[in-house]
Amino acid sequence: MSPMETYQPTGALAGAVLDGRYRVDALIATGGMSGVYRGVDLRLDRPVAVKIMDARYASDEHFLTRFQREARAVARLKDPGLVAVYDQGAGAPGGQPPYLVMELVEGGTLRELLRERGPMPPHAVAAVLRPVLSGLAAAHRAGLVHRDIKPENVLISDDGDVKIADFGLVRALADAKITSTDVILGTAAYLAPEQVATGDTDARGDVYAVGVLVYELLTGNTPFAGDSPLAVAYQRMDHDVPPPSTRITGVPRQFDELVAYATARDPAERFADAAEMADELEVIATELGLPRFRVPAPRNSAMHQSLSLVDTSSAPTAGVDGPRHTRAFTRDELPPRPAAEDDDEYRPLTGQFAGIELGEFYWARQRAKRVLFFWVVAVLTLAALAGAGAWALGTNLPNLL
């Protein structure tokens, strides 16, 4: 996928002041619909993140109306797992593009962390999921759906805070006149089957995306592959997400079941919302005895690079594979359904997290179980020997006396 297609040069807004208040500084990254800049709120003298939508959206009044409505709704949400929205600019046809002013999270994205460190062990996955599900639960209670959960939209601060970004943008596009019922919006690898089939979704669509995210955190890959985003999106219509343990060793059965429940093809068979999934995660964490974990921020992130950027005419590199962009595609582009799934998709993989082979986490658990078993056997054996000695002594006590 190529970087954001735009009618303005990438980074051209650097140095501009929006609405006489927000100075736009270094470009951090671009996406399918927008560019994100490091900025400063000149009135409050605080750093902010400014998400500036592609200029082509400034001419669409339906989008601008929905954009403002969604921004207000998201700004009312309060949860540590959500990136705070401070302000929004409506934009104007032929003039200033629409923008959002948000909390600046110094750190990086979950995508960048996965690229640096690879798959995560279960306790690290749980540490990521807790704030993600908490933020989503707050939104679901307010009747809001994210529609585009993916590692690029999960931010990790240098202090270890995990937050969800980009609420409301996909919904604004979905309701704008630039789309129609024949257009699918989202990121192909994480779309729920009903989003592909009809374009409609609810909280259970976010749950499906989180299930795919869990699979990716555990294995390092998304469950489906294809020659195009549409081919990837179409596969979930006919195929279940495979258990993560079939791709990498050491994944507990409970996480296989969590992924299976979250990614059921029938929405009625999934968790009803993020709160219900969060409750199940805590049951699993307690059952497995998962320790608390501070999620590390990626070291070589676009956010960190933007601190030292002087020339902001180009975006920082996003890595070998590049980010997965939110995009729109039409159902007419859908390829024929494949006759059979490639067996390579289910081939077991290996990986590391923080330089440690994930298999080590599995074997460590097995060694602990074996040690406990041997101790139990030893204690029982000693108890049996002591009992036998006492019995023998009691039987022969008259002869000894």
Active-site residues, by number, are 148
Q: Taking the mean position of all CA atoms in its chain, how far away is CA 228?
A: 21
Contact 163, 81 (CB under 8 A): yes
Contact 131, 80 (CB under 8 A): yes
Provide DSSP, 78-140: --TTBPPEEEEE---TTSSPPEEEE----EEEHHHHHHHH-S--HHHHHHHHHHHHHHHHHHH
Beta-carbon contacts of 12 under 8 Å, excluding residues fewer than 6 positions away, are 313
Tokens of 125: 């996955």
157 in helix, strand or coil?
A: strand
* Dihedral sign, Cα of residue 144, residue 148, residue 149, residue 152: negative
Tell me how crowded residue 243 is: count the other CB atoms within 10 A of its CB. 19
CA trace torsion 301, 304, 310, 312 (10° rounding): 40
Whose CA is closest to 162, among 202, 126, 208, 214?
126
Tell me how crowded residue 394 is: count the other CB atoms within 10 A of its CB. 9
Q: Specify the DSSP class assigned to residue 250.
A: T
In angstroms, the CA 58 to CA 66 distance is 12
The one-letter amino acid at 206: D
Provide DSSP, 270-331: S-SSHHHHHHHHHHHHHHHTPPP-PPPPPSS-HHHHHHT-S--SSPPP--SS-PPPPEEEEG
Residue 28 belongs to what H/E stretch? strand 22-30
In angstroms, the CA 208 to CA 191 distance is 8
CA trace torsion 152, 155, 201, 210 (10° rounding): 90
